[in-house]
Amino acid sequence: MILDGKCPTGPIEKSWDKHRFDLKLVNPANKRKYNIIMVGTGLAGGAAAASLGELGYNVQAFCYQDSPRRAHSIAAQGGINAAKNYPSDGDSILRLMYDTIKGGDFRAREADVWRLSQVSNNIIDQCVAQGVPFARDYAGYLDNRSFGGAQVSRTFYSRGLTGQQLLLGAYSALSRQIKAGTVQMYNRREMLDLVVVDGVARGITVRNMVTGEIESYAADAVCLATGGYVNVFYLSTNAKGCSVTANWKAAKKGAFFANPCYTQIHPTCIPQAGEYQSKLTLMSESLRNDGRIWAPKKKEDVSKLPADISDADRDYFLERKYPSYGNLAPRDISSRSAKEACDAGLGVGPGGRGVYLDFADSIKRLSEDTIRERYGNLFEMYEKITDENAYKRPMRIYPAPHYAMGGLWVDYNLMSNIPGLFVLGEANFSVHGANRLGASALMQGLSDGYFVIPYTIGGYLVTVKPGAVTTDHPEFKKSVVDVKATNNKYLSINGKKTVSEFHRELGKVMWNNVGMARSKESLNEAIKVIPQIRDEFWNNVKVTGSGTELNQQLENAGRVADFLEFGELLARDALHREESCGGHFRVEHQLPDGEAMRDDVNFSYVGAWEYKGNDKEPELHKEPLKFETIHLAVRSYK
Amino acid sequence: MSDHKTMTLTLIVWRQKNANDPGKFETYSAKNITEHHSFLEMLDCVNEDLILAGKEPIVFDHDCREGICGMCSQVVNGAPHGGQDRTTVCQLHMRKFKDGDTIYIEPWRARAFPIIKDLIVDRTALDTIIQAGGYTSCHTGGVPDGNAILIPKPIAEEATDAAECIGCGACVAGCPNGAAMLFTGAKVSQLALLPQGKAEAVARVKNMTKAMMECGFGNCTNHYECQAACPKGINVKFIARMNREFLKAQFA
Ligand SMILES: Cc1cc2nc3c(=O)[nH]c(=O)nc-3n(C[C@H](O)[C@H](O)[C@H](O)COP(=O)(O)OP(=O)(O)OC[C@H]3O[C@@H](n4cnc5c(N)ncnc54)[C@H](O)[C@@H]3O)c2cc1C
Ligand code: SF4
Ligand code: FES
């Protein structure tokens, strides 16, 4: 099937305004008759729930943590982009759009990216009005910093806590609506199924994580804002609870999964210290504003103290290979370069998994205090984990799975191919193409939540009669029975391996075969091994306790079971995409200098997969990509 | 790297099946722990052994494991988050302990935080306080340009100091009265410092303090244990500021 993104036509500059005008409006008096389910209350879901509640809709919002304030958006450090052009350094909406399309290696839709760039400026205004304490200069004006993949300074920030501050802004707006009664908040609930009636999304089935009860909720539209899936690699910068479960359950009910192979490996994370490790910690990309990345030139130097390696014996490899972007080269390029150095035996620290991020020059140029003011909390975090003082010796960093560009397929209105199912934030595939630029995910989450869904959902709701289906419908009952049966199955296997052991095993297969460099061979290996792990899981996992109480093993079993199915789809998508683009690097497809080689003739499309049943091959649907404003070009950061 | 040296520790952990169970301490042994294990990774290891032995693992709240989500909440040897300066329990590392140590692990204990199971408590009271007024009532859209509101750097910095609160509740757990003054004071102060928050300052401080009392949090008697317990170093000066705001509100 050829998919239609339903993008507006005509001049790009007018596309969003025109589309908004064309959308039908819901009569204000009728809004309260509509129920909307919002699964996830991070930046995307929190902003959306608050804005929809404010418009007068009835919103039921869900999250798995004990409070909406804890969604993993909270962990974003570096900043959020906007085309304000406050520094007058040549920025514009068109330039932000250009950088995003190019950064994504020409695998995103132009209309969506234009809209994102256009509303980016409203986001900053909105957050300021909420009391988000962005960094300011002494005169009181908003301050900016630079991020990878851009030559202008357009990143707004709040210390190294930007995600926290933005999320708390959205959380406060959400709290106001909860108090006003327009949003009903359900904490400690995990969505375990999507309920589809006659092809239309009508509700969800969730587990109350405190009592174990399986509950049904019906609505006129269901929104998923459930974040990214890179915990499929086990070790990642995501929170422990991040999963693909909500998205995957929707996919199993017919929603297409787009570009699952576009995953981002972040270049600057703290290297793994041991086998027991449970997660990896990011060191914000903003550090690359003032830190220089290097590896020793000679193998015999790798175990020396960094201070004992002379400047002549250091390879500042990003500055050498990409002189115009230097340490601010995009993430995919920076990660691969670091991996190359380590693969060549030039890595430092345990297992040779690390390169240096060095602040000595900046400290000399700007003073230690200035560096502390800019990145103090990051240096502190680094010291807590490694016991090393990065003011005195360079940080050790290594790439780690970080972000999912892929996600459920949505059209321009953020609606999936299932009518009534909308997908927001990292959970959808829409704007980042094959690689996301730094400081653009926060922008996307808030754009989707504050400025897109409040308009586009109305265009759908006017076509449906409110309250047409209730939880009495047999599909809801069936879903509850299915969810209970699956949970009982986990509890009854009583095998010999813990859920975490399976997750680690899957993670290793994914990292080694479907990680930073992928080949036909490695991908086929993954596609062979993952079903074996899955089979063993269903015969040999051990989950203690019962389903009718708080049971973290049971929660985790469900998430890992879904990763064990989804991981295979990710590998299949990577296998089918016979090109390299952005975060998807196929070793067979590279230019003589090792750069990614895109194939625009054969692969300039969104690949959206339809689930056909376990152990059956999924079916690929394509949405061709057209580039009318930004011309297709080889991406170069040299 | 001294990856080879390992430690064995004795854990004395609060176990409680549910809100109605009286609960009791149980003793466990944590083996093969290195200095690089985080405290929660140490508990993961203990749990893996328990599961394989067919026993119920210890449940505890956690998510980001990098000190920012505020989900983790354990009293370690009598101190919320383990008592290291500006450190959440998920950031606490085992290099702070010695081979052979005995470690006591308990949940937050406060009237406003009922225990759900083992080390997990119900902190929705903190959300209730924010719902009472921890926001500016701006609508989505229809706000002025970000630079139309000038905020000098020192003010922005002080507001950020207050805004760093992660809502973990350690201040409440550390307070002999179970008060939530530091948490509430931080939010009231952040918004009172900023021009955007001034319009509603009077109603905000009244409503948030009222909600705080109604949720069963105690009174502040100036012990300052909250600041000592706070993993983000939130300063008690924000309690003083809230008190001033409260006084002002009485005359407004
Ligand atoms: C360490 C780190 C640093 C980052 N730094 C930056 C940065 O500086 N700039 C930038 O632009 N981006 C950054 N990013 C990326 C950005 O933070 C995320 O992409 C973005 O915040 C995702 O927002 P979201 O609302 O889509 O999802 P999340 O914030 O992850 O929210 C997901 C929500 O869904 C809920 N949920 C999930 N599954 C279920 C389920 N089954 N049932 C019920 N609820 C569920 C969760 O409870 C949560 O409320 C960073 C990411 C990480 C991990
Ligand atoms: S004030 Fe400190 S201790 Fe209290 S909730 Fe906030 S961060 Fe936690
Ligand atoms: S787990 Fe998030 S702060 Fe500790």
Q: Nearest Cα to A47, choosing from A446, A458, A455, A454?
A: A446
Claim to verify: residue B65 and residue B162 sit in the same structural domain: no
pLDDT for position A374 = 83
Q: Which of B183, B187, B237, B241 to mutate for ligand 2's pocket (most ligand atoms within 8 Å of CB)?
A: B183
- Residue B2 falls inside a structural domain: no
Best residue of B20, B43, B69 to probe chain A, by most A CBs closer than 10 Å: B69
Amino acid at A555: E
Q: Is residue A72 within 8 Å of residue B63, measured between CB atoms?
A: yes
Claim to verify: residue B163 and residue B51 sit in the same structural domain: no
Claim to verify: residue B31 and residue B57 sit in the same structural domain: yes
- Residue B160 falls inside a structural domain: yes
Distances in whole angstroms, Cα of residue A81 to Cα of each of A98, A134, A412, A491: 13, 12, 21, 46
Ligand 1 pocket residue status of A72, Cβ below 6 Å: yes
Best residue of A73, A134, A168, A305 to probe chain B, by most B CBs closer than 10 Å: A168
Q: Which tokens belong to B216?
A: 């069963």
Claim to verify: residue A393 and residue A501 sit in the same structural domain: no
Distances in whole angstroms, Cα of residue B187 to Cα of each of A132, B13, B158, B162, B240: 12, 33, 12, 7, 13
The closest-lying atom of ligand 3 relative to the alpha carbon of residue A70 is 2
Q: Which has more pLDDT, A415 or A637? A: A415
Q: Say whether A136 and B153 touch across the interface (CB within 8 A).
A: yes
pLDDT for position A637 = 81
Claim to verify: residue B87 and residue B203 sit in the same structural domain: no
- Residue A468 falls inside a structural domain: no
Burial of A193 (0-12, 13-18, 19+ CB in 10 A): buried
Mean per-residue pLDDT of chain B = 96
Q: What whole-number distance in Å separates Cα of residue A250 and Cα of residue A224?
A: 9
pLDDT for position B40 = 98
Ligand 2 pocket residue status of B168, Cβ below 6 Å: yes
Q: What whole-number distance in Å separates Cα of residue B192 and Cα of residue A255?
A: 46
- Residue A371 falls inside a structural domain: yes
Is the per-residue pLDDT at B22 higher than 50? Answer: yes
Give the active site residue among A95, A109, A288, A331: A331
Is the per-residue pLDDT at A280 higher than 90? Answer: yes
CA–CA min distance A451, chain B (Å) = 8
How many Cα neighbours within 13 Å face the side chain of A455? 19
Total-model pTM: 0.98
| pLDDT, tens digit, 9 for 90 and up, residues A209-250 | 999 999 999 999 999 999 999 999 999 999 999 999 999 999
Is the per-residue pLDDT at A60 higher than 60? Answer: yes
CB-closest option in A75, A134, A454 to B66: A75
How many domains does one find in chain A? Answer: 2
- Residue B31 falls inside a structural domain: yes
Claim to verify: residue B93 and residue B46 sit in the same structural domain: yes
Give the CATH number of the domain where residue B106 resides. Answer: 3.10.20.30
Alpha-carbon torsion, ordered A267, A268, A269, A270, to 10 deg: 130
Rounded average pLDDT over B104-132: 98
Rounded average pLDDT over A613-620: 92
Chain centre distance of CA A125 = 24
pLDDT for position A192 = 98
Mean per-residue pLDDT of chain A = 96
Closest ligand to the CA of B74: 3
pLDDT for position B216 = 97
Q: Which residues of chain A neighbour B214 with C-beta distances below 8 Å?
A: none
Nearest Cα residue in chain A from B16: A550
| pLDDT, tens digit, 9 for 90 and up, residues A70-119 | 999 999 998 999 999 999 999 999 999 999 999 999 999 999 999 999 99
A183-186 and A58-62 strand pairing: parallel
- Residue B1 falls inside a structural domain: no
Q: Is residue A580 within 8 Å of residue A223, measured between CB atoms?
A: no
pLDDT for position A464 = 96
Claim to verify: residue B184 and residue B219 sit in the same structural domain: yes
Give the CATH number of the domain where residue A503 resides. Answer: 1.20.58.100
CA–CA min distance B124, chain A (Å) = 7
Q: Say whether B63 and A51 touch across the interface (CB within 8 A).
A: no
Q: Is residue A266 within 8 Å of residue A282, measured between CB atoms?
A: yes
Rounded average pLDDT over A316-326: 93
How many domains does one find in chain B? Answer: 2
- Residue A561 falls inside a structural domain: yes
Give the CATH number of the domain where residue A346 resides. Answer: 3.90.700.10
Question: Strand ranges (DSSP E) for A129-176?
Answer: 155-156
Rounded average pLDDT over A155-164: 94
- Residue B19 falls inside a structural domain: yes
Claim to verify: residue B88 and residue B179 sit in the same structural domain: no
Degrees to nearest 5, angle at CA B123 with B120 and B127: 150
- Residue B242 falls inside a structural domain: yes
Chain centre distance of CA A328 = 20
Q: Say whether B152 and A139 touch across the interface (CB within 8 A).
A: yes
Q: Any bridge partners for residue A265, and if so which?
A: A401
Q: What whole-number distance in Å separates Cα of residue A546 and Cα of residue A103?
A: 48
Is the per-residue pLDDT at B161 higher than 90? Answer: yes
Rg of chain B over all Cα atoms, to the nearest angstrom? 20
Claim to verify: residue B109 and residue B132 sit in the same structural domain: no
Separation of CA A425 and ligand 1 centre (Å)? 8
Q: Which residues of chain B neighbour A43 with C-beta distances below 8 Å?
A: none
pLDDT for position A34 = 98
Q: Is residue A544 within 8 Å of residue B54, measured between CB atoms?
A: yes
Q: Is residue B73 within 8 Å of residue B67, measured between CB atoms?
A: no
Q: Say whether B135 and A75 touch across the interface (CB within 8 A).
A: no
pLDDT for position A349 = 93
Is the per-residue pLDDT at A332 higher than 90? Answer: no
Claim to verify: residue A489 and residue A593 sit in the same structural domain: yes
Quote the percentage of chain B above a pLDDT of 90: 97
The closest-lying atom of ligand 1 relative to the alpha carbon of residue A443 is 11
CA–CA min distance B222, chain A (Å) = 28
- Residue A319 belongs to domain spanning: 267-400
Alpha-carbon torsion, ordered A107, A113, A114, A117, to 10 deg: -140
Q: Which tokens belong to A409?
A: 């397929």
- Residue A381 falls inside a structural domain: yes
Least confident of A417-421, A588-592, A618-622: A588-592
- Residue B52 falls inside a structural domain: yes
- Residue B230 falls inside a structural domain: yes
- Confidence band of B2 (pLDDT split at 50, 70, 90): very low
Instruction: State ipTM.
Output: 0.98
Ligand 3 pocket residue status of B88, Cβ below 6 Å: yes
Q: What share of chain B is helix, strand, coil (3-state, %, to 5)?
A: 40, 15, 50
Distances in whole angstroms, Cα of residue A225 to Cα of each of A49, B42, B227, B238: 10, 32, 35, 34
- Residue B110 belongs to domain spanning: 7-116
Claim to verify: residue B211 and residue B94 sit in the same structural domain: no
Ligand 2 pocket residue status of B230, Cβ below 6 Å: yes
- Residue A304 falls inside a structural domain: yes
Q: Tokens 């304030």 label which residue?
A: A69
The closest-lying atom of ligand 1 relative to the alpha carbon of residue A444 is 11
Is the per-residue pLDDT at A375 higher than 50? Answer: yes
Give the CATH number of the domain where residue B213 resides. Answer: 1.10.1060.10
- Confidence band of A43 (pLDDT split at 50, 70, 90): very high
Q: Which tokens belong to A531?
A: 């079903």
Claim to verify: residue A288 and residue A377 sit in the same structural domain: yes
Q: What whole-number distance in Å separates Cα of residue B62 and Cα of residue B42?
A: 13
- Residue A60 sits at φ, ψ, to 5 deg, of -115, 115
- Confidence band of B1 (pLDDT split at 50, 70, 90): very low
Q: At what angle do helices A552-576 and A245-252 cross, to 10 degrees?
A: 60
How many Cα neighbours within 13 Å face the side chain of A343? 10
Q: Say whether A69 and B159 touch across the interface (CB within 8 A).
A: no
Residues written for chain B: 252
Distances in whole angstroms, Cα of residue A527 to Cα of each of A77, A349, A532, A535, A617: 35, 32, 9, 13, 11
pLDDT for position B4 = 60
Claim to verify: residue B109 and residue B36 sit in the same structural domain: yes
Claim to verify: residue B190 and residue B84 sit in the same structural domain: no
- Residue A483 falls inside a structural domain: yes
Q: Which has more pLDDT, A149 or A273? A: A273
Least confident of A36-40, A364-368, A376-380, A468-472: A376-380
Is the per-residue pLDDT at A373 higher than 80? Answer: yes
Degrees to nearest 5, angle at CA A47 with A43 and A52: 150
Q: What whole-number distance in Å separates Cα of residue A185 and Cα of residue A170?
A: 14
Q: Say whether B138 and A171 touch across the interface (CB within 8 A).
A: no
Claim to verify: residue B243 and residue B133 sit in the same structural domain: yes
- Confidence band of B43 (pLDDT split at 50, 70, 90): very high
Chain B residues 87-126 within an 8 A CB cutoff of chain A: 87, 91, 93, 95, 116-117, 120, 122-124, 126
Q: Say whether A66 and B124 touch across the interface (CB within 8 A).
A: yes
pLDDT for position A222 = 98
Claim to verify: residue A377 and residue A498 sit in the same structural domain: no
The yes-or-no answer on residue A577 being catalytic is no
Q: Is residue B76 within 8 Å of residue B39, measured between CB atoms?
A: yes
